[in-house]
Amino acid sequence: MIFGDFGGGRTRKSFGKKEREALFLSQGGRCMYCGKKEREVTYFDVDHKTPFSRNGRDTFANLQLLCRPCNTRKGDMTDGEFRKAYGLTAASKAKNPPTKVIPQSYFEKISKSRAAKKKRSTRSRTNDFWW
Q: Stretch 71-92: mean pLDDT, rounded?
A: 95
CATH of domain 2-101: 3.40.1800
List, for residues 15-47, the tens digit of each pLDDT value.
889 999 999 999 999 999 999 998 887 889 999
**Residue extents of the structural domains in the chain:** 2-101
pLDDT at 5: 42
- Note if the pTM is more than 0.85: no
List, for residues 86-128, the tens digit of each pLDDT value.
999 998 899 999 999 999 999 999 999 988 887 776 655 555 5
Q: Stretch 58-83: mean pLDDT, rounded?
A: 96
User: Distance (Å, rounded) from C-alpha 76 to C-alpha 1?
Assistant: 22
Spatial CA neighbour of 66 closest among 20, 105, 106, 121 = 20
User: Distance (Å, rounded) from C-alpha 56 to C-alpha 22?
Assistant: 19
User: Distance (Å, rounded) from C-alpha 97 to C-alpha 71?
Assistant: 14
E strand or H helix at 70: helix 68-74
